[in-house]
């Protein structure tokens, strides 16, 4: 793949202490974090607009961030871009035995996801050790995604949370819309109401979801 090799060489040249670009040389993982967020958001914008030609460019900008972080890690002797690719490729093959192995009887997305979770649970964990019942959900997630993931974990682990969640209210809410457009209208109305009340919906939802996590974690200790 000559194009990816060219990109890796270009990034390495930009980082060269003697002949590289002063801005690129000054960067580290933390300083580039905001760039990664910006580029991902711009890519998501092209996806929402179905702007395929522009998507090609924005995918390249996201890839540049991956290559840059891999370059920084390589300079520090941790890992390089080839290692990143090898790791994710190995993971994909391992978690899809119905495609790359002998277990070809898996049918349907639900069965695939169940198998994925089972394989993932057996893998050696990287990063901080999970000490509680909830997986380590990134605090950088938007509050709506964070709350959705919290509820997903409650469902998957069949946690007893009736004293914290009004399941009847949740079902009534689910019955009140059928389409993405109807859901969007409801969420917009909530956001607009928050504006009128001078409340921040992002922090309110995050605190509420975190409170549920803290309560369930406390009950398990």
Domains and CATH numbers, the chain: 2-79 (1.10.287.1080), 143-220 (no CATH)
pLDDT of residue 140: 78
Nearest Cα residue to 111 out of 102, 123, 98, 122: 98
- The span from the first CA to the last CA of the chain, in angstroms, equals 52
pLDDT given for residue 101 in this prediction: 84
DSSP 95: T
pLDDT score of 119:
87
Predicted local confidence at residue 219, as pLDDT: 82
* Residue at token pair 């990109």: 7
Instruction: Output the CA–CA distances (angstroms, integers) from residue 80 to 14, 76, 85, 110, 152, in the order listed.
Output: 16, 10, 9, 35, 34
pLDDT in tens, 32-67: 999 999 999 999 999 999 999 999 999 999 999 999
Q: What does the pLDDT read at residue 128?
A: 66
**The pTM is what?**
0.75
Structure tokens that stand for 80 in this block: 């390089």
Q: What is the DSSP letter of 30?
A: T
Residue showing tokens 């389409």:
179
Of 34, 35, 5, 10, give the one whose Cα is nearest residue 21.
10
The pLDDT value given to residue 55: 96
Rounded CA-CA distance 68/36 in Å is: 10
The confidence score (pLDDT) of residue 221 equals 66
Total residue length of the chain:
221
Which residues of the chain carry a pLDDT beneath 70? 1, 127-130, 221
């Amino acid at each position: 793949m000559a194009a990816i090799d060219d990109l890796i060489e270009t990034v390495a040249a930009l980082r060269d202490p003697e002949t590289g670009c002063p801005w690129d040389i000054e960067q580290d993982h933390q300083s580039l974090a905001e760039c990664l967020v910006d580029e991902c958001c711009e890519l998501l914008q092209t996806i929402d607009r179905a702007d395929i030609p522009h998507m090609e460019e924005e995918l390249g900008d996201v890839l540049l961030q991956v290559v840059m972080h891999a370059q920084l890690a390589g300079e520090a002797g941790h890992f390089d871009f080839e290692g990143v690719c090898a790791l994710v490729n190995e993971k994909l093959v391992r978690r899809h035995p119905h495609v790359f192995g002998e277990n070809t009887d898996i049918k349907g997305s639900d069965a695939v996801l169940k198998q994925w979770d089972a394989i993932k649970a057996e893998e050696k964990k990287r990063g901080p050790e999970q000490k509680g019942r909830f997986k380590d959900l990134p605090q950088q997630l938007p509050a709506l995604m964070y709350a959705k993931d919290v509820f997903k974990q409650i469902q998957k682990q069949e946690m007893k949370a009736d004293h914290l969640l009004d399941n009847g209210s949740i079902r009534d809410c689910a019955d009140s819309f059928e389409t993405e457009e109807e859901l969007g209208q409801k969420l917009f109305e909530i956001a607009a109401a928050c504006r009128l009340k001078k409340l921040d919906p992002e922090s309110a939802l995050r605190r509420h979801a975190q409170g549920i996590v803290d309560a369930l974690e406390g009950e398990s200790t």
